[in-house]
Amino acid sequence: MEKEHLEMILEDINGKFDLILEGYDSLDKKIDKNHQESNEKHAHTAFMLETLNHKIDGVDAKLTAKIDAVDTKLTARMDNLETNLSKRLDAVAEDLSAHRRDTEVHRGYQVRED
């Protein structure tokens, strides 16, 4: 009876090992599935970040170009303004000199600078 009893115990243990192996196989498949999903999400996130970086680079290039264009325009306008003001100041100075010369030609007038 011991041999039959031992065979039944071994058969029961063998069945339990089979259940454990099935459980490990199921867990292994779940781990592989989760790993695959994680890799897919990582790849998608990397793609999204790369796309966002390209968009940011494009916006940066456009803004830089616009800022440079505005800087060029403002520099030209300021140079033009400076030139115009210099011409006008020179003209006013010349008018004042001419007026002084004309005033001093008349003998009774003297320009006082106090």
Q: What is the pLDDT of residues 97-114, one digit of tens each?
A: 888 887 776 666 565 666
Q: What is the pLDDT of residues 5-26, one digit of tens each?
A: 888 999 999 999 999 999 999 9
Is the C-alpha dihedral spanning 32, 33, 36, 41 positive or negative?
Answer: negative
Res 112: pLDDT: 65
Gap between the Cα atoms of 79 and 35, Å rounded: 65
Task: Supply the DSSP string of 25-75, one letter for each residue.
Answer: HHHHHHHHHHHHHHHHHHHHHHHHHHHHHHHHHHHHHHHHHHHHHHHHHHH
Residue 80 — pLDDT band, cuts 50, 70, 90? very high
Q: What is the pLDDT of residues 25-77, one digit of tens each?
A: 999 999 999 999 999 999 999 999 999 999 999 999 999 999 999 999 999 99
